[in-house]
Amino acid sequence: MTEKKRLVVIGNGMAPGRVLERLFEAAPDAYDVTIFNAEPRVNYDRIMLSPVLSGEKTYEDIIIHDDDWYAARGITLHQGKRITGIDRDAKRVTAEDGTAAHYDTLLIATGSNPFVIPVPGHDLEGVVTYRDLEDVEKMISAAKPGGRRAVVIGGGLLGLEAAAGLAMRGMRVTVIHLSETLMERQLDPAAGYLLEKAIATRGIEVITKANTEAISGDTHVTGVRLKDGREIPADMVVMAVGIRPSTGLAKEAGLDAGRGILVDDTLRTSDPDVFAVGECVEHRGTCYGLVAPLYEMAAVIADQLTGGTRTYQGSVTSTKLKVTGINLFSAGDFADGEDREDIVLRDAASGVYKRLVLKQNKVQGVVLYGDTADGAWYFQMLKDQADVADLRDTLIFGQAFAGASPLDPTAAVAALPADAEICGCNGVCKGQIEQAISEKKLSSIDEVRAHTKASASCGTCSGLVEQLLKLTLGDAYNPLAVQAMCGCTRLGHDDVRRLIKAKALKTIPAVMQELEWSTPNGCAKCRPALNYYLVADWPEEYEDDFQSRFINERAHANIQKDGTYSVVPRMWGGQTSAAELRAIADVVDKFEIPAVKVTGGQRIDMLGIRKEDLPAVWADLGKAGFVSGHAYAKGLRTVKTCVGTDWCRFGTQDSTGFGVRIEKFMWGSWTPAKVKMAVSGCPRNCAEATCKDVGVVCVDSGYEIHFAGAAGLDIKGTEVLTLVASEDDALEHIVALVQMYRETGHYLERIYKWAKRLGLDTVRAQIVDDPQGRKAYFDRFVVSQKFAQVDPWAERAKPEPTQGHVSEFRHFEPKPPSAPARTLEPAQ
């Protein structure tokens, strides 16, 4: 194996983050990567700083790569170390603290610096820029509600988002803008005017044509003075007038630079071993400050680094304003010109404005305000330079009209070509999303985000992604599919199970702490679920929390409507004997048990037992050799059998013996919901195995294993898992299946629902087609049984049980006030 090449990255923003993501996807072992980051933190999503400022998200929400991500890829990340020199001859970079690193390939991603207008007072305390998390933290701490005033200089994208965020934080905000209308680089005057009105309704004052003369104050900002003499009081001034590519380091190293570091179409600088990416770059005369082009560059660099030939041709960008409640889309160029034609739609009453700029029947620019649903459609035409002559008459009414299709909200998305970009932030196109949905069987927007990153950043395309889900899945798409476990958390069962393993959470308090439960100790829905997940996932370590179990599992008996209990002793495979029946009869007499009944699972149920009698009942049953039948448990209940080859003239295998064997092997195991099984000795199926959670139908050639049946709230015949020749094989398959269910089931989810959720093929693939995986499941079940096969009855019939609480079966009894306190005794 050849030695890994050394890649050193200067800067750890979104562009290099994306380069590394793509690089490690394509060639995980090609490079040893070292990152120097001047900021003392991991890679986060700068696009999302606005929601952090407004309080809609936190820093943790916007982390892209956490420490584990770097660790898993063996990346050395120097946080808070600023590179001060690049020695291209020695191929070495040095940080200000002296840390040095050699490279074979260098990637410069120094980004940009906010531009600060050099007016008097620009260095006063209270003047901040809007660039990184430090800036946001400064603004948040300055934004005390109650009359504190902020002035934002610059009415572009960033300035307006900052203004909206500060207003949401309770500040009185004034936006000062040099031009006549807001966002004049992205919007035409009409849309700029509508935007100004919308901003004003949020209580933000907008002053256009305003030229800042000075920032007033002695040591701290007190206001902003305009050239026309107006003075606007301020406790904080945010400079958001633009960015400058950060090129100093590259220039000092002798690399060619103009406004930005000059790169060719392979994104190499004037030194072929040095790449540059992101906002620090100048490509074909253009510098970019939006995320989509940076990501397009990143994909090209990752390809080049792995020997590919992709090139970067420049980007056409579109803009969306991330201010809640304002819908704004713009792309391309809409300067007036003789060869240009406008198509404009205005609906003043509903605040809609749409403008398309065409040149020779090709879209050059798009501005949409108020209704941005067709933004992606127009943007695609713009990028493709498609001829719109045929659509022209109705083009402005949008895609639904153009297609003459009914006003189905998904029609617009349906008509997009597969390479149409849906998520601009992450560069994900329609085809990728559709493919992921069908191949990976995704059913929720969260899953799509996890697999494709579409709508995972700014989220403005969430609607489109949902429509794609709906289109791809049809009626099977249920937007409410991922439900929180209960009111104590926003996480669903899958997330909780995954995080318990990933974060190695081993107690209920640890789960609630780490997963940010909203209640002090959960509720009757989540506590039993968590207790089960921990029992199942950490059998050797977890100490069962009995106060988190339903009373049936705490008392090891079934509570009845009058508060008494019923007790069911285990009868292996439904077989019993005279001695057992005699013992049961004696117990019934001794404790005056009012009712005795045969159950549907081939057992005997004794009903109406007082709680305080339970330990004595168990002690007597235990003497006769009985153990608990777990008729109360979310666990293995019963294995029904027919008499098989022992007696039956049709029997093909020893169904009774096999049922007993399964039950003795699996009893005591906890499962997400109850598990009922049966073994029938021939296809006549007297044990009714084909409506059980797991069933076996014996045939001449072996054992047909069934699963996912139901005969309760729902009626459902089983599915065939497979046919195996020997009893040993059958046992291994059954045990592995149940273990898979134990590891992936949701609490209270029966096997038929679990199998439907995972897909029958997924279950078959893991249990039937993968012998090693099956064996691993089997082995894990065996390990967990070491800790599970303790008879709870024997345990609790002891004078001082080691499981559960000593006084569980004692009632309290009031004593006269004069009586001295004494230890409680069991009540009669």
Rounded CA separation 399/596 (Å)? 71
- Return the H-helix or E-strand segment holding 422: strand 421-423
Instruction: Return the closest-CA partner of residue 497 out of 532, 445, 522, 452.
Output: 532
| Residue owning tokens 């696009």 | 47
Query: Least distance in Å: CB of 276 to another protein?
Result: 56
Query: Least distance in Å: CB of 520 to another protein?
Result: 5
In this structure, which amino acid lies at residue 22?
Answer: R
Rounded CA separation 506/533 (Å)? 10
Question: Which residue lies nearer to another protein by CB, 578 or 821?
Answer: 821
Q: Out of 2, 201, 309, 823, which residue is the one contacting another protein (CB under 8 A)?
A: 823
810 touches another protein by CB under 8 A? yes
824 touches another protein by CB under 8 A? yes
802 touches another protein by CB under 8 A? no
Rounded CA separation 405/671 (Å)? 51
Rounded CA separation 500/504 (Å)? 6
Span of 224-232, 269-277, 297-305, 811-819 interacting with another protein by CB under 8 A: 811-819
513 touches another protein by CB under 8 A? no
546 touches another protein by CB under 8 A? yes
Q: Pull the structure tokens for residue 772.
A: 């090693």
Q: Out of 265, 337, 806, 826, which residue is the one contacting another protein (CB under 8 A)?
A: 806
Span of 22-30, 106-114, 329-337, 803-811 interacting with another protein by CB under 8 A: 803-811
Question: Which residue lies nearer to another protein by CB, 506 or 810?
Answer: 810
Question: Which residue lies nearer to another protein by CB, 421 or 553?
Answer: 553
Rounded CA separation 88/250 (Å)? 10
Q: Out of 223, 522, 539, 702, which residue is the one contacting another protein (CB under 8 A)?
A: 522
Q: Are 275 and 301 in contact (CB under 8 A)?
A: yes
Question: Which residue lies nearer to another protein by CB, 71 or 824?
Answer: 824
Query: Least distance in Å: CB of 813 to another protein?
Result: 6
Question: Which residue lies nearer to another protein by CB, 354 or 527?
Answer: 527
Pairing of strands 231-233, 223-226: antiparallel
- Residue count, binding to another protein (CB under 8 A): 36
Q: Out of 551, 588, 624, 648, which residue is the one contacting another protein (CB under 8 A)?
A: 551
Query: Least distance in Å: CB of 544 to another protein?
Result: 13
Binding mask 572-591 for another protein (x = CB under 8 A): --------------------
Query: Least distance in Å: CB of 823 to another protein?
Result: 8
Inter-axis angle of helices 578-590 and 614-623, nearest 10 = 150
Span of 213-221, 368-376, 544-552, 584-592 interacting with another protein by CB under 8 A: 544-552
Q: Pull the structure tokens for residue 239.
A: 């400079």
Q: Out of 248, 254, 807, 826, which residue is the one contacting another protein (CB under 8 A)?
A: 807
Q: Out of 324, 712, 815, 826, which residue is the one contacting another protein (CB under 8 A)?
A: 815
| Residue owning tokens 């702490």 | 513
44 strand-pairing partners: 63
Q: Are 729 and 701 in contact (CB under 8 A)?
A: no
- Return the H-helix or E-strand segment holding 216: strand 212-216
Binding mask 588-617 for another protein (x = CB under 8 A): -----------------------x------
Binding mask 460-499 for another protein (x = CB under 8 A): ----------------------------------------
CA of residue 413 relative to chain centroid, distance: 24
Q: Pull the structure tokens for residue 623.
A: 């003497």
Binding mask 762-801 for another protein (x = CB under 8 A): ----------------------------------------
Pairing of strands 352-359, 362-369: antiparallel
556 touches another protein by CB under 8 A? no
Q: Out of 211, 547, 701, 726, which residue is the one contacting another protein (CB under 8 A)?
A: 547
Q: Out of 247, 304, 452, 548, which residue is the one contacting another protein (CB under 8 A)?
A: 548
Query: Least distance in Å: CB of 757 to another protein?
Result: 24
Q: Out of 286, 521, 577, 726, which residue is the one contacting another protein (CB under 8 A)?
A: 521
Question: Which residue lies nearer to another protein by CB, 35 or 555?
Answer: 555
Query: Least distance in Å: CB of 559 to another protein?
Result: 6
Rounded CA separation 36/430 (Å)? 35
Question: Which residue lies nearer to another protein by CB, 358 or 557?
Answer: 557
Q: Are 84 and 248 in contact (CB under 8 A)?
A: no
| Residue owning tokens 């633009």 | 242
Question: Which residue lies nearer to another protein by CB, 428 or 555?
Answer: 555
Q: Are 290 and 278 in contact (CB under 8 A)?
A: no
How many residues in the chain?
828
Query: Least distance in Å: CB of 114 to another protein?
Result: 48
| Residue owning tokens 């392979």 | 266
Instruction: Return the closest-CA partner of residue 678 out of 702, 662, 701.
Output: 662
Give residues 524-543 in contact with another protein (rule: CB under 8 A): 524, 527-528
519 touches another protein by CB under 8 A? yes
Rounded CA separation 426/48 (Å)? 13
| Residue owning tokens 């921990």 | 534
Rounded CA separation 374/366 (Å)? 10
Q: Out of 561, 593, 624, 689, which residue is the one contacting another protein (CB under 8 A)?
A: 561
Q: CB count, 10 Å around CB of 320?
A: 22
In this structure, which amino acid lies at residue 196?
Answer: E
Question: Which residue lies nearer to another protein by CB, 201 or 823?
Answer: 823
DSSP letters along 621-649, please? Answer: HHHTT--B--TTSSBEEEEEE--HHHH-S
Q: Are 269 and 253 in contact (CB under 8 A)?
A: no
Question: Which residue lies nearer to another protein by CB, 322 or 554?
Answer: 554
Rounded CA separation 123/113 (Å)? 16
Query: Least distance in Å: CB of 531 to another protein?
Result: 10
3-state class (DSSP) for residue 205: strand
Query: Least distance in Å: CB of 668 to another protein?
Result: 23
Q: CB count, 10 Å around CB of 509?
A: 14
Instruction: Return the closest-CA partner of residue 16 out of 35, 41, 39.
Output: 35
Query: Least distance in Å: CB of 776 to another protein?
Result: 34
713 touches another protein by CB under 8 A? no
Query: Least distance in Å: CB of 393 to another protein?
Result: 55
Question: Which residue lies nearer to another protein by CB, 13 or 792?
Answer: 792
Query: Least distance in Å: CB of 543 to another protein?
Result: 13
307 touches another protein by CB under 8 A? no
Q: Out of 268, 550, 645, 803, which residue is the one contacting another protein (CB under 8 A)?
A: 550
Question: Which residue lies nearer to another protein by CB, 579 or 827?
Answer: 827
Q: Are 700 and 682 in contact (CB under 8 A)?
A: no
Q: Out of 335, 348, 407, 821, which residue is the one contacting another protein (CB under 8 A)?
A: 821
520 touches another protein by CB under 8 A? yes
Q: Out of 559, 643, 720, 776, which residue is the one contacting another protein (CB under 8 A)?
A: 559
Rounded CA separation 322/157 (Å)? 8
Give the CA distances from residue 268 to residues 289, 299, 395, in Å, rounded to whole numbers and listed in that order: 19, 14, 41
Q: CB count, 10 Å around CB of 620?
A: 17
Rule CB under 8 A: which residues touch another protein?
519-524, 527-528, 546-548, 550-552, 554-555, 559, 561, 563, 611, 805-807, 810-817, 819, 821, 823-824, 827
